[in-house]
Chain A
Amino acid sequence: MVDPNPPCSKKTVSQKFISMRSMSVATFGWKASAASPSNKAYIQSESIGFYGLIKADRIKMRQTLEEIAQRLNLSIETLDRWIRQGRIPVSKTGEMGVFHEVELNKWAAKQKKTMAVCGDRPGGVCHAPEFILVSAMESGGVHHGITGMDRDTVLQAAVGQVPGLSQGQQEGLFAQLLAREQLTSTGIGQGIAIPHPRNPLDEGIQIPMVVTCYLENSVPFHAIDDLPVSTLFLILSPAVACHLNLLSRLSFCLRDSAFISFVKTRPPAEALLKCIHAKEAQIEKKGV
């Protein structure tokens, strides 16, 4: 989404003086905006006050109809009709909509029309879920030779492998992982555990990550089949939706006994990722 007003208004101050005398700047502006319709809002300079007093609401904006429709959460047909019927303070010049930012906002407020929310809602939708598991594993990394005598020490060591965490964040994550293990063990059997915090971390994790840890020696993990655990997949994600997505895809892979025996061979990062990629392609195809 574009929030064109504040960053651009400075630019027009300098533009204004050029365009006071010559029309060419305005024409240039026209062409520039027409040539790149998806471009950010372009401020047309001709409507600026005679005395150079720039008020925000006197600045004319140009955006494509698609952008305006998207921003007002309208269908393009409705926007087009409303412009034709004069129900919205936007006028049409070719494919472009011309409006005053402040006026349009005022109108939207009067209609109690919710402007489209920019970015993700907190804990909301996870974008671009295609091959999310592969990219998460790539960013989490594959780590060999994690040492520890029991569950807590291997978790501690695994937390130490998570890239980009400060000391405090590591401690917080460790505490959360332990709390999750208290609830029920995350050892899902056949020597595999998928430790994860119950809630997304407040900070530190920007992108979803799966940290793969091959343990030096198997440790008891209170797993459901009581077998000691030799591989950890530490799942970290910025939002719950991502977490569920990762978990569902990972568990799809782990349902396959061939995959588990492949993991037991402690393959290097490239081989593991290649295998996961193949698995995930299967998921994409089937929509599991």
Chain B
Amino acid sequence: MKRFISWRHPARLPFFRRDDRMLLILMGIIVGICSGLAALGLNSSLVFMLETLHHWRHYWWAFLLPAAGAMLSSLFLEKAMNEGAGHGVPEVIYSVSRYGGLMRFRSSISRLVASCLTIGSGGSAGPEAPVVMSGAAIGSNIAKFFYLNDRQRVTLVGCGSAGAIAAIFNAPLTGIIFTMEIILGEWSMVNIIPIAVAAVSGAEISRLLRGNSIAFESLGSFNIGNLDLLACLGLALAASMASLILTRLLRRMHRVSAKVKVPLWARAAMGGAAVGLLGFAVPDVLGEGYHAIHAMIQGVFTTGLGIAAIACLAKILATALTLGWGGSGGIFAPCLVIGSFAGLAYHRLLVFLMPSVTWVNEGCFALLGMAGMISGILQAPLTGIFLILEITGSYEVMLALIIVSALSTTITHYFEPASFYLKDLTERGQLLRPGTDARVLADITIREVIERDCISVPPGMLLREFLYVVKRSTRNYFPVENPENGHFMGMVRFDHVRPYIFNTVMYDAVLVEQIMDVDVETVHYDDDLADVLHKMDITRCYSLPVVSNHRFVGMISKATLLDKYRDELKVQTTQRV
């Protein structure tokens, strides 16, 4: 019987039970391939939609296309999938940190379809975050199918997102770095290897089906001079300003759209229509915008300084309108477009101000602008650097790339302490990176730290009898319970009795109810330990009673908590190598 079902319990095989690394690597390959296929599927359907809708673009009512797309995607997510709009990366991060990477199966397709509708119809958003969510959900469900434990599941979720990023950009290294830096938030040997394998298999699938091409290859190489490096400082500033504007505008749009009292799908449609109208003026803002990046990197984008600057701002506005009003999609591709517009505009400005200086090709600045923008928005400098390196294949700009990425991250961090993906999580207190205080407290439940060896006393007990109880007890706290219904009434602390211990006259004169604390702070089974500790700090107590359904169940004390806290911290931070 046991052997019969063992293929679905691979972790129970003696070979994998000792050391599951090989198992994770094998699973990583499967997950990488699946999520790579999902990414390619989205990519192909986007291309298909673009081609289908292309014929109608020149009609006057074309601005309704993005509106229809955004509306359909919102309806699909809300009614059919019962999920919220957005790009999904915060959901993945939260699920990884709180639920061991548990995700619903439908998440693996919901964002794909929704973002395909939004982007394919012309909405300004990116397909990357949706494929990350989809890959992560695929990894999670494969882990669930094979009954893997939470740690292994988290690794497979990472594998899924790495495979997706690797496949969609044909950039395996970026897949690894993105997953480590943003999704998992920790660098551990146990995770890196399966994730690397998944990234490789995702990229390999992409190469097999689409051919091995660099996404935005430049014509010729860039020779960066010292003056160009100096100019990078200004570029970093420009990129971080653009990312700040985008972040703020997105949030503002969220707030404004929340005030409009119409159904979600109608909101999405309004945003989509606005984007469509904007598209009449600046056609480059529509869709994911990779075509524009191509042109800019290759230096064949012909517009002047003013147009480039306006296009940059228009793209920011279009992205905020799409995502802020309920469209579905990621921020990655718009960032790349905005960054390259910003880089291009900056280059034009330099040429305009100092026409006599020989600057490097404008494609190089567009490329650096992308890196600055990605690093600024995501506050993940490594992801920015490696993504640009891999999608442009321009390794000679490495130095400038590092400068721009690092500076842009720093400047943006100064104004926006949390990155775009983590901002909501941080505000809700849901950012629980491994090994942090918040994570340790979130993992320990009250049931684990509760102490049940307290002796309850009735309120009518005499001090003399109570002192016998004190002698028997090992604790300093005594819950008082109503003898009729067992309800919790209050607490007697040993401190309350201390003044009367040696006064025999009081023994038969004082009742427990006279010395008990009536309005005690209590905690419940389901409370978060962080809240419990906060309560303890406010009331300056070292122990609080746990009361469930009006009944006393035990005490929580800081002393025991420290013990468990250390155990948990050690378990979380000791890496199994």
Contact of A81 among B445, B449, B468 (CB under 8 A): B445
CB of A287 within 8 A of chain B?
yes
Instruction: Please indicate the chain B residues that have their CB under 8 angstroms from the CB of A83 in the complex.
Output: 149
| Complex Cα–Cα for A47 and B373 (A) | 55
| Complex Cα–Cα for A113 and B566 (A) | 10
| Complex Cα–Cα for A23 and B4 (A) | 12
Least CB distance, B169 to chain A, in whole angstroms = 31
Instruction: Please indicate the chain B residues that have their CB under 8 angstroms from the CB of A85 in the complex.
Output: 100, 149-151, 443
Q: How large is the interface on B (under 10, 10 to 19, 20 to 34, 35 or more residues)?
A: 20 to 34
Q: Are B468 and A86 in contact (CB under 8 A)?
A: no
| Complex Cα–Cα for A88 and B447 (A) | 19
Complex A-B, nearest 6 residue pairs according to Cβ-Cβ distance, in ascending order: A86-B149, A86-B151, A287-B472, A85-B150, A77-B448, A78-B448
| Complex Cα–Cα for A23 and B6 (A) | 15
Q: Are B445 and A87 in contact (CB under 8 A)?
A: no
Binding site for A on B (CB under 8 A): 3, 11-12, 14, 17-18, 100, 148-152, 443-445, 447-449, 468-469, 471-472, 564, 567-568, 570-572, 574
Mask: chain A, 5-22; 1 = CB below 8 Å from B; 0 = not: 000000000000000000
Least CB distance, A23 to chain B, in whole angstroms = 8
| Complex Cα–Cα for A78 and B445 (A) | 8
CB of A127 within 8 A of chain B?
no
Contact of A87 among B447, B449, B469, B571 (CB under 8 A): B571
14 A-B residue pairs with CB within 8 Å:
A47-B14, A60-B14, A75-B448, A77-B447, A82-B571, A85-B149, A86-B149, A91-B149, A111-B567, A111-B571, A112-B570, A286-B468, A287-B469, A287-B471
Contact of B149 among A23, A84, A100, A111 (CB under 8 A): A84
Instruction: Please indicate the chain A residues that have their CB under 8 angstroms from the CB of B14 in the complex.
Output: 47, 58, 60
Instruction: Please indicate the chain B residues that have their CB under 8 angstroms from the CB of A103 in the complex.
Output: 18
What 20 new A-B contacts, CB under 8 Å, besides A75-B564, A85-B443, A287-B468? Answer: A23-B3, A60-B14, A74-B567, A75-B448, A77-B447, A77-B448, A78-B567, A82-B571, A83-B149, A85-B100, A85-B150, A86-B151, A86-B152, A87-B151, A87-B572, A91-B149, A100-B17, A100-B18, A110-B574, A287-B472
Instruction: Please indicate the chain B residues that have their CB under 8 angstroms from the CB of A23 in the complex.
Output: 3
> Using a CB-CB cutoff of 8 Å, which residues 263-288 of chain A contact chain B?
286-288
Q: Are B100 and A84 in contact (CB under 8 A)?
A: yes
Instruction: Please indicate the chain A residues that have their CB under 8 angstroms from the CB of B449 in the complex.
Output: 75
| Complex Cα–Cα for A82 and B151 (A) | 10
> Using a CB-CB cutoff of 8 Å, which residues 94-129 of chain A contact chain B?
100, 103, 110-113
| Complex Cα–Cα for A286 and B462 (A) | 13
**A84-B150, A85-B150, A87-B151 are contacts. A288–B571 as well, Cβ < 8 Å?**
no
Instruction: Please indicate the chain B residues that have their CB under 8 angstroms from the CB of A60 in the complex.
Output: 14
Least CB distance, A248 to chain B, in whole angstroms = 11
| Complex Cα–Cα for A81 and B448 (A) | 10
Least CB distance, B186 to chain A, in whole angstroms = 14
Residue of B nearest to A103 (CB): B18
Contact of A91 among B11, B151, B443, B468 (CB under 8 A): B11
Instruction: Please indicate the chain A residues that have their CB under 8 angstroms from the CB of B151 in the complex.
Output: 85-87
| Complex Cα–Cα for A14 and B449 (A) | 44
Among B14, B152, B444, B564: residue with most chain A CB under 10 A: B14
Residue of B nearest to A85 (CB): B150
| Complex Cα–Cα for A87 and B443 (A) | 12
Least CB distance, A127 to chain B, in whole angstroms = 15
Mask: chain A, 35-76; 1 = CB below 8 Å from B; 0 = not: 000000000000100000000001010000000000000110
**A81-B445, A85-B150, A86-B149 are contacts. A113–B18 as well, Cβ < 8 Å?**
no
| Complex Cα–Cα for A60 and B447 (A) | 30
Q: Are A91 and B571 in contact (CB under 8 A)?
A: no
Least CB distance, A94 to chain B, in whole angstroms = 11
| Complex Cα–Cα for A85 and B536 (A) | 29
Least CB distance, A213 to chain B, in whole angstroms = 31
Least CB distance, B472 to chain A, in whole angstroms = 4
> Using a CB-CB cutoff of 8 Å, which residues 142-160 of chain A contact chain B?
none
